[in-house]
Amino acid sequence: MDYKKKLEELRNKIDQIDEQILRLLNERAKLAQEVGHIKKEHNLPIYVPSREKAIFERLEKLNAELGEIFPTDAVKPVFREIISACRSTEESIKVAYLGPRATFTHQAAIKHFGQAVEHIPVSTIKDVFEEIVKEKADFGVVPVENTIEGIVNYTLDLLVDYPLKITGEVILEISLHLMGINPDVREIVRVYSHRHALAECRDWLRENLPNAQLIEVESTAKAAEMAKDDYESAAVASEAAADIYGLHIIERKIDRHIHNFTRFLVIGTQIPNRTGNDKTTFIFSVKNEVGALYKTLEPLYRHGINMTKIESRPSKKEAWDYIFFTDIEGHIQDERVEKALKELEEISPFFKILGSYPKAH
Ligand SMILES: O=C(O)C(=O)C[C@]1(C(=O)O)C=C[C@@H](O)C=C1
């Protein structure tokens, strides 16, 4: 058979499979709608992260058994969008994030909820919290720490002050690219970006664009927007920003750090159910006496709970008084976590659970 005929035959088969997939997607959405009706009748939350996580894990395992001709790495992104779209037929979820569009926080929001939610860009981290408290958003996404820049203290402070819960976490690899409408790097005289992004790309910029003026703007997304109409300008930003603003990537990954990751928190009003692979975050203070921190944390040790992080911040109530942000493995619905935290609460002058949520992938 000549190759053209063979190609046509194969493409016809692909068309048939695509149609089958689409029919099945419609059947799936119909079932999700029925689930949605039952959940509304019984006042249950529409978004159920534990169920979504179980679906991803089951399908990734099945895909490995099926021989992985379809890459296992693609299973979660594909099903994330399928679930996101099915969920949107039950109810539209509103997600506030630190904008504008195409920031890394926007990407984190998409990675967590999929595209089919109402994304609400706001201009400060505090506004993300405010949108939820004012019931304009159901969830929010904020950055909390970066492997190079460290902790975003402001996010921690807001978690103490607001009556909200951490409902999830997202870890994103940060890759910074040089982009513009002019693909010729020699003609670039201005480079826009966020202060941190310029710092991370300093070596590359010094070597390759020693005479360019480096201009700080509020976000990498804003930088891309600034570069989109100017032939002599470039931006240091994400791939998503290049897509949204129609920029050409002049040079990929110009940041010098190989391990550049940012962790984002998803915040909401309710603690999601346990998935079996969860994390709990809480804050506490200690009495001003010898061995206080040791004694306060002792219940964790006694109940065999792994503490994965502890971070101190000034309490801002008294000078030299601190609160401790702590992450442990497990969910508050796990018996030993519940017991240990109860004991810890009894010892601490101040104690608050900030959330129990599925660990990021
Ligand atoms: O199982 C549910 O509760 C559903 O609403 C269905 C579904 C899905 O599409 O699979 C959608 C949203 C939920 O977050 C979890 C799962």
Residue nearest to atom 8 of ligand 1 (CA): 83
The CATH class given to the 92-174+261-267 domain equals alpha beta
**Residue 239, token pair as written in the block:** 């791939």
Report the alpha-carbon distance of residue 69 to residue 84 in Å, rounded: 24
Report the alpha-carbon distance of residue 226 to residue 102 in Å, rounded: 13
Query: Is 93's C-beta closer than 6 angstroms to any atom of ligand 1?
Result: no
Q: Is the peptide bond before 100 cis (omega within 30 degrees of 0)?
A: yes
Query: Is 86's C-beta closer than 6 angstroms to any atom of ligand 1?
Result: yes
The dihedral region occupied by 235, where left means phi > 0, alpha psi between -120 and 50, and beta the remainder, is beta
ipTM above 0.95, yes or no: yes
Q: How many A from CA of 75 to the centre of ligand 1?
A: 17
- pTM assigned to the model: 0.90
Instruction: Please report, in tens digits, the pLDDT of each residue of the chain (361 residues total).
Output: 799 999 999 999 999 999 999 999 999 999 999 999 999 999 999 999 999 999 999 999 999 999 999 999 999 999 999 999 999 999 999 999 999 999 999 999 999 999 999 999 999 999 999 999 999 999 999 999 988 878 899 999 999 999 999 999 999 999 999 999 998 999 999 999 998 899 989 999 999 999 999 999 999 999 999 999 999 999 999 999 999 999 999 999 999 777 889 999 999 999 999 999 999 999 999 988 899 999 999 999 999 999 999 999 998 777 778 899 999 999 999 999 999 999 999 999 999 999 999 999 7
Q: Which CATH superfamily is domain 11-89 in?
A: Chorismate mutase (1.20.59.10)
Identical fold between 92-174+261-267 and 177-251: yes
For residue 36, the ligand 1 atom closest to its alpha carbon is 5
The dihedral region occupied by 264, where left means phi > 0, alpha psi between -120 and 50, and beta the remainder, is beta
> How many CB atoms are located within 10 Å of the residue 27 CB?
10
For residue 48, the ligand 1 atom closest to its alpha carbon is 14
Q: How many A from CA of 51 to the centre of ligand 1?
A: 7
Pocket test for ligand 1, best of 51, 84, 93 (most atoms within 8 A of CB): 51
Whether domain 177-251 has CATH 3.40.190.10: the reply is yes
Radius of gyration of the chain (CA): 24
Pocket test for ligand 1, best of 31, 35, 117 (most atoms within 8 A of CB): 35
Please state which architecture CATH assigns to domain 274-358: 2-Layer Sandwich (3.30)
Q: How many A from CA of 32 to the centre of ligand 1?
A: 6
Among 269, 49, 283, which Cα is nearest to 166's? 269
pLDDT at 321: 82
Residue holding tokens 């379809």?
70
Angle at 249 between CA 235 and CA 186, to 5 degrees: 70
**Residue 340, token pair as written in the block:** 């240990």
Q: Which amino acid is at 151?
A: I
Pocket test for ligand 1, best of 33, 41, 42, 52 (most atoms within 8 A of CB): 52
What are the residue ranges spanned by the domains of the chain? 11-89, 92-174+261-267, 177-251, 274-358
**Residue 175, token pair as written in the block:** 């890759």
Among 117, 79, 120, which Cα is nearest to 97's? 120
Query: Is 90's C-beta closer than 6 angstroms to any atom of ligand 1?
Result: yes
Report yes or no: 207 and 185 within 8 Å, Cβ to Cβ: no
